[in-house]
Every structure is written in C-alpha cells, then in structure tokens.
Structure 1
C-alpha cells in the first residue's frame, strides 16, 4: 500500500469509530486519501449526513496527526496493518462495510497466520470460580493442541482464558477496545504486557486512545470474524459475550457454549444460546472436533470399564439371575436366563473361573466380592 494511503488510513482510525458502516461505504467509494480530504473540507459530500455530524468529523479529521500516531506506535513496538498487507487476516473482509480501517498490532507473530487456526473464548467479567476454571482449562487445552485463543483481555473469563494459554506456553491474542499501548483494564497491566511478549495485542484505535461502551461492543465483531468459532463460558442474558457469539453465527462461524448450573443466572445466556444453534462442549477436545479438520475427533466419553462389562451376553444373563443371598440350582438359573441347563452350566463354569460365582453342592451363588460389587452399584443395572 502506498505511504499516502497508509497515512490516510491511520488518520481515519482517529476520525471514524470502529464498525461505522457508513464510513466504510465512504472509504470504498473515495479511497482513504480521498475520504480524509473530503472530511477535512467538510462540504456537502455525503447524503443523509447531518451538519452536526459533518462538523464533528471535520474537527476530528483536521486534528488527526497520523505521522505522530505511527511514531508513537513504533515507540510502543507496535505496527499498523492495513487491508492488502501480507499480515492482514482476509476473514475480516467478511464484515463488509464494518471491516476495520486498519489494525494496530503489538507483538512479534503474524496475525494472519495465527488467525487461520484460532478460537475465541469469551464470557462474563464477573464469572464464578467454575467459569474461571473452565476458561483456563479450555485455554490450556486448545494451546496444547496447537490452537490460538482469541479473547478481549477483560476481567473474568477473558483473563482466565488468556492465563490458561500462557501457562501452557501457547499463543493468545487480546483484541482491545483501546490503543494497544493503553492497558485496560488497568488491573491487567501485567497480563497484557505478557500477552504482548508471548502473543499479540490488537486494536482498531490509535495509540493513546481509550475505550468506551460502544467500542467494547464493536470490538466483539473483530473477535468473532477473526476466529473459526466462538466459545462462550458463563454469560448472563444481556452479556456482551453473547453479542460476540451472535455475530459469529451471522458470519457463518461456529457458535459454542459451555453449560453451567441450571440455577445460575450467569449461565442463562449460554443456555439460551445452546437451546438455539449453539453446540454444547465441555472440553478443548470437543471444541477442536467442531472447528478443526476432518478426523480431529474428541475421545468418546464413557464410564470406567469393570470386569462384568467384558462378559458375553449369555454369561451376563446367567450372572444377572443369581440373587444377592442364597444359591440356585442349575435348572432355576437356566429358566431365569432363558437358556438350556447345559448352556447354563457352561456359563457358570466360565463365571467361576473369573471369580464371579462359586458352587455349593447342587447350588450356585455369587462370591462375596461379586455381591458387594454388583449390589453396591445397582444403578448400573
């Protein structure tokens, strides 16, 4: 991209708010250089633009100092990446007119390469211990499987997910609603610095700019578009994490939720998501099964295998006939198992060799160990 166009885009990050679709249309019509010039002139250039907004945009355009912003970014070891650059993630183009004008990035890795194999993990800021534990486990598990975890660097689920990745030595990206040199929230100053060293800090706002409520909401669209899927861990019905999930869904990405207690208001939003098109997961392996390549299957979940699970159908039926106390004759056992006496005898000798039953005269009964095992876990039968 020509230096003039790059400077104009850097200037526009100070003029247009993130996600401004009207601004995106103007940018496509006039180009960055043409648009910044028209904004500075402040004339009747755009239909349906009020004079108040036109004057506000003009004031921002005149005050923009892109050279200073780029110099400040270099001082913070950050860079400005524009559409068309080798590092630009092409999936952001799915946002259409709401596509970022450019991205300010702090960190050494290539955002484009990392975004190709990434998953968003988002959720409540005021999460429970369960939510923080699940986010950290997902983050670590995804990192161990070679996936990049993208989140917003906030308190609660975001921070827990980032820490889980960092603890596993993995790759993580924090998408900020402020300049990448502005630690927000301030309590995450050290965490964000560590992410910048081991991962990437990404933002649409120029250096020194601060977040607003609107910018947090718009930040979520970038998280959704960058990744193959969004996992929501604990979210109330009005949580911003659900905004990310719904945006991911509208972009054709996977929408995923981690269930919580049915009585927890912090999980109401997740459960609402799961009742729709969201997919329930409880582990990183299940997330990878959804977003990964064909064959990346999560291990089948099943209870512990006990010796009686390995019995053949007839031997299992014979074993089930024997009561907790007392002995039965071969004829009674064969009748109860719906088999012949000869087949019943064969199964009984097999069960005896395995330690399940013992013979007393003409009768057969369970061994003491089998009685304790079978009838102490009666719910399995």
Structure 2
C-alpha cells in the first residue's frame, strides 16, 4: 500500500466515517466506498473478490492489468466481464464522496457498530457499504424490525391498514422498514413518524436527494429518530434495476416482511421473494376477493406460504414477539398510558398537549406520541384548537 493511497484514503474518509464505533481502517473503508461506485447493487463477482481478499486488495486487483485472481467460485471469463463493467467508473469516485460530505452523509461498513448484521445473510450479494443519513444507531439496533411494503397505487383501505400496522408496531418499539415510495411505503413511514417511532427508509438512489421529491419532509422527519440509507453513492439516480435490488435490502433488514396491498405483478412481490429466499417470515394482508389491488397479497397467501395478517398482533405472532411486551426492555405501559390519555380527552372541548399531560399525569412528549397512534384508529381527532375524543 503506497503512502499516497494511504493519505488519499485518510483524507477521503475524514468526515465520512461514523464519529464513533468505526470498525474498519481508512484504507478498507475507502476501498468499500469505491466499490460502491464501481458496481451495481448485488454484484456477486465483487462480493466474491471482497470476501476472499478484503476490499482494498480486491480493488487493487480489479483496477490492475494482472490476470484473473484465484477465486474458486469464479471463472476467468466471469472476472473479465466484471472488470469490463467496473473500469469505466474507476475515476468516478471523487464527486460522490464530495457530495456525501456536503450533505452530511456517513459511510457505514462491516465491522462498524452501526453495521446491520442482518445484511450479512445476503452473502456475496450484500452491499460493500451503506450511505446513511440520520441516526446510525437505528441501523444496528437489536430491537425487532418489520418491513411493511406494498403498491404505489394504493387504495384508501391499503393506506389505512399500513398506517395502523406501522403506528402500532412503532409505538410498541419495533423498527419499521420500507422503501419511501408513494402509496403503502409512504403510509407506513408517516405513521411511524407520527408516533415518534424508529424507522428505516431504503432508497434506490443517493441519500442526498429525496425520491419522489414530494417526500423530502417525510424523510427529514423520519431521519430525526430513524435513518435513511442506500447502497449506491450520492449522486446516483434511481433506476428500475436499482429499485428491484433495493428490495433485497428491505427484506434483509427486517425480521419479517408484510405486504399490505399489492397487485398481481406488484414489485412488492419481489421483496416477498427475497424474504422467502432468506428464510424470513412472510405475511400479507388480505383484501376483498374482487379487488385487483389485493391480488398480489392473495397470491402470497396461496403460493408463498404467507401468513394472513389482520393486525399488529398478527405480525408479532409471525416472528414470536410477545404481544403484550416488546423485546429488549421496551416499556410495557403503553396500554395504561393510552387509557389515561383517553380519560383526559373531552368529546366536546378541544385540549392541547400540555393540558392533556396535566390531566393524565403522562409526560407531554409521550402524550404527543400516543395521540398520533390514537388518531390512526380514530379514537382521537385534532383541529387548530386541539385534541378531542373521536369515534373509532
């Protein structure tokens, strides 16, 4: 390793590595950053090379003119074709790294405290690195996580069910994973933010830009308690291939995947397929048998051995979580606090959060969180004057 390359790596990684808990040295981290630029998501040839030689040594081999390295799983033809894909991008790393610095993104790699070890189940198809904005601790948090996905062209029924599931699970301490698309994904993310839960949004393009653009505020809100991630570097545009490959990360980051609403050929079935391939529990929400918007869910229930999901408790049962108390020491007083807040609400006179906190004896931050959950099922409603009891 030349002193020039070492200096280049240190300078490049100075502001991109996690501020604490970084497990890789600068050269290895820098090499993984460059691999994320060279490759398209899920490149198994790169994965084999990195697994055998390490990211830095594999990068040297990929960019050199030497013969194919000795990797039993790969033929010389595989390596030649892979290098033909990679070499046109060999000098494309400067701009993505600078853009990441400008937007405050971090680079998380295997060995870091923030690295989500669930991704290791993808084997050689795991990403070499993740580009991250938000709370790094949300990635490797050991609490339960669930992926809620579904169609972009969602119906009112699908949006409501996604919001109810997400709000209940997030308020109970689970991490909600989805893809930040319109429709079901957005409904799941919004409900998670509304109850001040922890979520992970997995993008198909760079984390510096919201896609779609209308979700900028949603992703900003999610990143305050959760995290926005991508395996492609900043400045990368989302494409059909990257959306499909992004789905394997959604499935791998979650303990279970639930498809809330999906047509017969919905891309959500791709996520379901990844979950099934990983051996992760898979569920689907049934819809009317006459609804084309739920045909994909019914297909999962019939052909993918999916479990029927009608409530958040069904999701907890799907992976063996205790319905009355979430794992990892999460508070078990949610039901009692909810009852106290309901008692403090009036059916006629609107009351603000501070007044509800005074009447219920529950701290104001928790009142705000649980009001969001109560609003999802109609037990609380709000207007410019405050909150009132609703009619679920």
Same fold by TM-score, threshold 0.5 exceeded? yes
User: What is the match of residue 41 of structure 1?
Assistant: 64
CA distance in 1, matches of 2:221, 2:322: 34
1:37-186 alignment, distance < 5 Å: 37-45=60-68, 47-49=76-78, 53-65=82-94, 69-114=96-141, 116-186=143-213
Q: Is the 8 A contact 1:182 1:210 kept in 2?
A: no
CA distance in 1, matches of 2:277, 2:216: 33
Report whether the alignment pairs 1:284 with 2:312: yes
**1:301-348 per-position Cα deviation (integer Å, ceiling 9, x unaligned):** xxxxxxxxxxxxxxxxxxxxxxxxxxxxxxxxxxxxxxxxxxxxxxxx
Q: Is the 8 A contact 1:151 1:174 kept in 2?
A: yes
Flag the 1:36–1:190 CA change in 2: closer, same or farther, 3 A: same
CA distance in 1, matches of 2:47, 2:209: 25
User: What is the match of residue 225 of structure 1?
Assistant: 252
**RMSD value over aligned CA atoms?**
2.0
User: Aligned residue pairs: how many?
Assistant: 296
Report whether the alignment pairs 1:192 with 2:219: yes
Secondary structure of the equivalent of 1:181? coil
CA distance in 2, matches of 1:62, 1:40: 10
Q: Is the 8 A contact 2:139 2:227 kept in 1?
A: no
User: What is the match of residue 348 of structure 1?
Assistant: none
Report whether the alignment pairs 1:6 with 2:29: yes
**1:70-121 per-position Cα deviation (integer Å, ceiling 9, x unaligned):** 4432331221010111111111111111111011111024134436411000
Residue 62 (structure 1) shift: 3.2
Q: Is the 8 A contact 1:117 1:148 kept in 2?
A: yes
Secondary structure of the equivalent of 1:165? helix
User: What is the match of residue 55 of structure 2?
Assistant: 32
Residue 292 (structure 1) shift: 4.1
Secondary structure of the equivalent of 1:94? helix
Residue 146 (structure 1) shift: 1.1
Secondary structure of the equivalent of 1:88? coil
Flag the 1:52–1:93 CA change in 2: closer, same or farther, 3 A: closer
Residue 296 (structure 1) shift: 4.9
Flag the 1:295–1:3 CA change in 2: closer, same or farther, 3 A: same
Residue 209 (structure 1) shift: 1.1
Secondary structure of the equivalent of 2:259? strand
Residue 2 (structure 1) shift: 1.3
User: What is the match of residue 273 of structure 1?
Assistant: 300
Residue 295 (structure 1) shift: 6.3
**1:194-233 per-position Cα deviation (integer Å, ceiling 9, x unaligned):** 2222321011011111111111111111111111100101
Secondary structure of the equivalent of 2:220? helix
Residue 3 (structure 1) shift: 0.5
User: What is the match of residue 388 of structure 2?
Assistant: none
- TM (norm. structure 1) is 0.73
Q: Is the 8 A contact 2:206 2:232 kept in 1?
A: yes
Flag the 1:200–1:150 CA change in 2: closer, same or farther, 3 A: same
Residue 160 (structure 1) shift: 0.5
Q: Is the 8 A contact 1:42 1:55 kept in 2?
A: no
User: What is the match of residue 306 of structure 1?
Assistant: none
Greater Rg by CA? 1
User: What is the match of residue 342 of structure 1?
Assistant: none
Q: Is the 8 A contact 2:99 2:234 kept in 1?
A: yes
Flag the 1:231–1:69 CA change in 2: closer, same or farther, 3 A: same
CA distance in 1, matches of 2:85, 2:273: 32
1:261-340 alignment, distance < 5 Å: 261-276=288-303, 277-294=305-322, 296=324
Structure ranking higher on relative contact order (CA contacts 8 Å, 6+ apart) = 2
Flag the 1:297–1:283 CA change in 2: closer, same or farther, 3 A: farther
Report whether the alignment pairs 1:234 with 2:261: yes
Return 241-250 or 117-126, whichever deviates more.
241-250
Flag the 1:18–1:116 CA change in 2: closer, same or farther, 3 A: farther
